[in-house]
Structure 1
Amino acid sequence: MIEIRNSILKYIINHKGFYVLFLFFIRIPGHSQNTIKNLSPKSYIAYQTSEKITIDGVASEESWEKSKSTDFFIDIEGTKIPKYETSVKMLWDHEFVYFFAAIKEPHVWGDLKKRDTIVFYNNDFEIFIDPDNDTHNYYEFEVNALNTLWDLFITKPYREGTPVLNDWDANGFKSAVKINGTLNNAKDIDKGWAIEIAIPFKVFKTSYYQNNIPKDIFWRVNFSRVNWDFEIHNNKYYRKKDQKGKFESEYNWVWSPMGVINMHRPEDWGYVYFSSKKAGELDVFEIPKDEKVKQLLYQLYRKQKVFFKNNNRWAISFNELGQKDVRIEDKKVLRTIENHQTGFNITIASPFTERLFIIKEDGKIITKED
């Protein structure tokens, strides 16, 4: 039994001018295998474009030609090779971040045309972005072969039972789809489709005066492709159903594997470094060692959640969590655990930079320089 994102119930309520979407999930059989642990996040260098990028679904500009593609997508759990290849390129300038996804698919189809519908009920391409790497206040964009957009602002991962701002719009979002074949024609075989996207950096601003152009820094990013088995009736495509009349599970193919069937663990996404160098030049990026400190914090966060579920209280020591002395790259880790009325704080002093990293009961990471 596995967890998928197939929502079975949604409530939309008005909350301070926004529509808030609650998604509930079920566990049903699907295309998966055992959880793979300790997967290393992938990284990618996005270079500056030296020219204007026209959003037409064709990566014809010289900057695109000079940019490298990501590795081909892999099954979300990290081991299976998908049936069809998917890869992405990225660029940026001082106004937009650009994406170009090449999606191989012998049958290109879709029927969802209304913005903010549940786009992953069709085959789709998805982008997940957490600019400040604290796992809160992140963004999701889904687009199908009809160029239908579902854009979401997510205040906290679903594990915290948090409402999703479904009525939030990424103003200035641009996209174009190019079909290499024919759309919704079951009588032929297609080669696939491509999608080109431009998202303004102002979409990700947290305050009016914030300068959030990510020059020579990294964001946490991941890409996903949802793909469904299908049936054909009267030359029309439909999601395939099992013998009981229920939709079969989707395939989830991603750039940076998650180890579990759950995209909403931003701490496990990949790293995209926005180089100030131009496309065609060469830069180097290494994931900072402090990220290993954060991964340790998330291990402790998950242990605290399990402990609370079993004991109806938070653990007051690391011994209660079954974790004694810990080292990272043979360096001793200094840490404290503090409970309070509404939850807990776990603090680790980085053995690499001496910065303090704190994780709260809701999984938010706070960084202190002193």
Structure 2
Amino acid sequence: MASASNSPVSSSPFQPHWNLYPRTYVVPKISFPLLDHLDGDLTKDVWKDVPFSDVFDDIRGATDSPAEDRPNPQCRTRFKAVWDETHLYIGAILQSDFETQAHFAERNAPIFQKDSDFEVFVDMFGSCHHYKELEVNAINTPWNLMLDKPYDDGGVEHSGRIAKPGDDLYYEVEHQKTATKVISGKLNDPKNPATWSIEVALSYRDLLAHVKGKEHFVAKSGSMLRINFSRVEKRGAINWTWQPQIVWDPHRRRYAGYVAMHLPDSWGYFVLGGQHHARENNPNDLVAPKDPSWPGRLAAMNIYYAQKAYSQQNGGTYATTVTELTDLVDAIILEPFRVEINLTKEGYVASLAGNPDGSIVTVRQDRLLSIAQIDQVTSSTG
């Protein structure tokens, strides 16, 4: 989990990077014991002054979404969030003008395959590895899973759906709670579509399972994490998200939207605030702190996507210099950085120096992103 920074973000040459910064929600801290009162009801006093997020939109973003695929205003999806020392709490309302499907009743069932589905994705340290996913339907059936890395990078599901305790692929939460409530209409009734709400308590202990460096985490004001939300309807024909899934496309030489939630480098940010934070009309109206490592992260992912395309074009080999990737990268994003690429047995490691916060950002062929301060690099190599 990164620490927030209020350092200027308008100075050249990093303005193009900050222009591509994803959505941010400032999460207020609470002292109310919400964990003991989860019932799916967002009219409780604890939620009263907490602002809603932006309304979810097509997963691809406005540029790549056909008009007919954009969400109907009557199917609004929004969330709120608060936190305490043990849990991150999400509350959401899902409106609908079509049938709300809710059939799966067994824990860890593949809910998205049939039911109306609310999903939360969390990458605590923004490494793109060992991130967690929760899916819940309107009758409060959860499916928890962990991805050791994205599917496109050879990642596999770890869950109680496919493995038993003690197996390598087993993952289960121990401190999570969820609750749902039908606000209006009826489930599984096309003539009377249901609007429903959900409350989720995500335990930091569960979110940090298998994550390198988890022992250094302490929930505190100013901490950050990468997160996104998805609403899936009609067996995946509809995918609406809070932060569009937009990444660099080396073939089209532009940032493009994809129907793919497992692009953790494209997710938004939560900033843990104080008890006075985010109590405004809209969290996006606040001047939220930004991740100081963002320019390096964006540039590193430029290298990642370019190397992936280069490998496809060159029989599985990777470039050893940025010059070889000239036609596949966003030159403006890479310009401020000193890039070194070293081939490894598995693929490569690209290191980028020159980040405005003084950090060194590295990325591997399997999308693993790492952030280290120069003093950390020196102490580990000296």
Same fold flag (TM > 0.5) = yes
Which of residues 33, 56, 74 in structure 1 aligns to 2:57?
Answer: 74
- Structure 1 residues 116, 317: closer, same or farther in 2, change over 3 A? same
SS in 1 for 2:48: helix
| Shift in Å, 1:123 | 1.0
- Counterpart residue number, 2:104: 112
- Counterpart residue number, 1:162: 155
- Structure 1 residues 158, 148: closer, same or farther in 2, change over 3 A? same
Structure 1 gaps of 5+ residues are 1-37, 229-238, 240-248
- Counterpart residue number, 1:178: 181
TM-score normalised by structure 1 residue count: 0.78
- Structure 1 residues 116, 319: closer, same or farther in 2, change over 3 A? same
Whose strand proportion is higher, 1 or 2?
1
- Structure 1 residues 280, 292: closer, same or farther in 2, change over 3 A? closer
- Counterpart residue number, 2:227: 221
Cα separation, 1, equivalents of 2:330 and 2:310: 19
- Structure 1 residues 336, 289: closer, same or farther in 2, change over 3 A? same
- Counterpart residue number, 1:358: 362
- Counterpart residue number, 1:251: 238
- Counterpart residue number, 1:294: 297
Which of residues 34, 57, 60 in structure 1 aligns to 2:40?
Answer: 57
Alignment of 1:21-100 (within 5 A): 40-53=21-34, 54-79=37-62, 80=65, 81-83=70-72, 84-100=75-91
Alignment of 1:278-317 (within 5 A): 278=276, 284-312=287-315, 313-317=317-321
- Structure 1 residues 188, 296: closer, same or farther in 2, change over 3 A? same
| Shift in Å, 1:334 | 1.5
Task: Give the letter aligned to residue 360 of structure 1.
Answer: R
- Counterpart residue number, 1:34: none
Q: Residues 85-131 of structure 1, C-alpha deviation per residue, up to 9 Å, x if partnerless?
A: 00000001112110101100133331111111111121110000000
SS in 1 for 2:120: strand
Task: Give the letter aligned to residue 356 of structure 2.
Answer: F
Q: Residues 292-326 of structure 1, C-alpha deviation per residue, up to 9 Å, x if partnerless?
A: 22111111111111111221211122121125894
Q: Is the 8 A contact 1:155 1:164 kept in 2?
A: yes
Report sequence identity in percent.
26
Q: Residues 192-244 of structure 1, C-alpha deviation per residue, up to 9 Å, x if partnerless?
A: 1101111222212347855442531110000000011xxxxxxxxxx7xxxxx
SS in 1 for 2:200: strand
- Structure 1 residues 288, 95: closer, same or farther in 2, change over 3 A? closer
Task: Give the letter aligned to residue 39 of structure 2.
Answer: D
Q: Is the 8 A contact 2:336 2:354 kept in 1?
A: no
Q: Is the 8 A contact 1:348 1:358 kept in 2?
A: yes
Q: Is the 8 A contact 2:51 2:278 kept in 1?
A: no
Q: Is the 8 A contact 2:186 2:192 kept in 1?
A: no
SS in 1 for 2:323: coil
Cα separation, 2, equivalents of 1:185 and 1:255: 25
Cα separation, 1, equivalents of 2:330 and 2:267: 27
- Structure 1 residues 354, 289: closer, same or farther in 2, change over 3 A? same
Q: Is 2:342 aligned against 1:344?
A: no
SS in 2 for 1:48: coil
Q: Is the 8 A contact 1:297 1:346 kept in 2?
A: yes
Cα separation, 2, equivalents of 1:104 and 1:62: 22
Q: Is the 8 A contact 1:336 1:348 kept in 2?
A: yes
Structure 2 gaps of 5+ residues are 1-18, 161-170, 246-256, 281-285, 375-382
SS in 2 for 1:319: helix
- Counterpart residue number, 2:168: none
Which of residues 192, 199, 204 in structure 2 aligns to 1:196?
Answer: 199
Higher relative contact order (CA closer than 8 Å, sequence separation 6+): 2
SS in 1 for 2:274: strand
Cα separation, 2, equivalents of 1:332 and 1:145: 48
**Which region of structure 1 is more displaced relative to structure 2, 283-292 or 43-52?**
283-292
Task: Give the letter aligned to residue 184 of structure 1.
Answer: L
Alignment of 1:221-240 (within 5 A): 221-228=227-234
Cα separation, 2, equivalents of 1:341 and 1:187: 55
SS in 1 for 2:348: strand
- Counterpart residue number, 2:94: 103
Q: Is the 8 A contact 2:227 2:270 kept in 1?
A: yes
- Counterpart residue number, 1:26: none
- Structure 1 residues 332, 201: closer, same or farther in 2, change over 3 A? closer
- Counterpart residue number, 2:322: 318
- Counterpart residue number, 1:268: 266
Task: Give the letter aligned to residue 337 of structure 1.
Answer: I
| Shift in Å, 1:354 | 2.1
- Counterpart residue number, 1:19: none
- Structure 1 residues 111, 222: closer, same or farther in 2, change over 3 A? same
Task: Give the letter aligned to residue 30 of structure 2.
Answer: T
Q: Is the 8 A contact 2:322 2:339 kept in 1?
A: no
| Shift in Å, 1:185 | 5.0
